[in-house]
């Protein structure tokens, strides 16, 4: 056997030893990667020796193993990544005196329309917001890698159609678009003012 990780199925002691090594290799890969890694991508670490479900199994074990530490393993849209535990984050923020700027309401509203109504054109966005949308807003979002053009609508001017990216889901700790906070029902928006009058 040329593969040092080949598992001897008759020897349980060997097997646990090897699985420990698998876990170490997975941890090293995840800790040194800048991007989230999927179970399929991680199979390459072992020359596709293991199935994706076995890798996923090990990833879940790693997640449990790190439960009581400063960092955690989470699953996002394009795979798994290590990140600082949310309860530790406020302490880290003290190291950097200047606050990370939050996006303006105009940027967030534009992002919300693209996320919930995609694919949409700039005209659709302006229609809902009732105000012009500057190119700077769309540029901010595409430079961040959160939105991209996925086509053009066949109306005069051929306006670009925008959609959100996988990176957008990754950066918001989400796995799918379905995990976005649900839109408030129109009925409940009306109900607010019926109850207040």
Determine how β-strand 160-164 pairs with β-strand 79-84. unpaired
Q: Would you say 58 or 170 has its CB closer to other proteins?
A: 170
Residue 137 CA to residue 53 CA, distance in Å, equals 41
* Residue 63 binds other proteins, judged by CB under 8 A: no
Neighbours of 135 (CB within 10 A): 8
Helix, coil or strand: residue 97: coil
Q: Is 20 exposed, middle or buried (0-12, 13-18, 19+ CB in 10 A)?
A: exposed
Q: Of 108-127, which residues contact other proteins (CB under 8 A)?
A: 108-109, 111-113, 115-119
* Residue 67 binds other proteins, judged by CB under 8 A: no
Smallest distance from the beta carbon of 15 to other proteins, in angstroms? Answer: 25
Among 2, 9, 105, 143, binds other proteins (CB under 8 A): 105
Q: With beta carbons less than 8 A apart as the criterion, state whether 156 and 121 touch.
A: no
Length of the chain measured in residues: 197
Q: With beta carbons less than 8 A apart as the criterion, state whether 5 and 49 touch.
A: yes
Q: Would you say 6 or 31 has its CB closer to other proteins?
A: 31
Q: Would you say 1 or 100 has its CB closer to other proteins?
A: 100
Phi, psi of 160 (to 5 degrees): -70, 145
Beta bridge partners of 148: 163
Count interface residues toward other proteins (CB under 8 A).
70
Smallest distance from the beta carbon of 101 to other proteins, in angstroms? Answer: 9
* Residue 153 binds other proteins, judged by CB under 8 A: yes
Residues binding other proteins (CB under 8 A): 31-34, 38, 40-41, 43-44, 47-48, 52, 71, 81-84, 86, 89, 92, 100, 102-103, 105-106, 108-109, 111-113, 115-119, 128-132, 150-155, 158, 161, 163-164, 170-174, 176-178, 180-181, 183-184, 186, 189-190, 192-194, 196-197
């Amino acid at each position: 056997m040329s593969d040092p990780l080949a598992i001897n199925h008759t020897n349980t002691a060997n097997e646990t030893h090897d699985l420990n090594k698998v876990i170490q290799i997975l941890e090293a890969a995840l800790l040194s990667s800048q991007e989230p890694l999927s179970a399929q991508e991680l199979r390459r670490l072992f020359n596709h020796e293991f199935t994706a479900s076995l890798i996923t199994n090990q990833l879940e074990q790693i997640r449990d193993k790190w439960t009581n530490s400063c960092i955690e393993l989470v699953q996002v849209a394009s795979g798994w990544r290590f990140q600082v535990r949310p309860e530790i984050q406020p302490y880290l923020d003290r190291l950097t005196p200047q606050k990370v700027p939050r996006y303006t309401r105009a940027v967030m509203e534009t992002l919300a329309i693209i996320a919930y109504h995609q694919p949409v054109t700039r005209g659709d966005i302006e229609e809902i917001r009732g105000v012009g949308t500057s190119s700077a807003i769309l540029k901010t979002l595409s430079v961040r890698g959160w939105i991209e053009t996925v086509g053009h609508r066949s109306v005069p001017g051929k306006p670009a159609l925008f959609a959100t990216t996988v990176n957008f889901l990754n950066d918001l700790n989400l796995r799918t678009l379905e995990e976005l906070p649900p839109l408030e029902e129109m009925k409940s928006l009306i109900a607010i003012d019926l109850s207040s009058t």
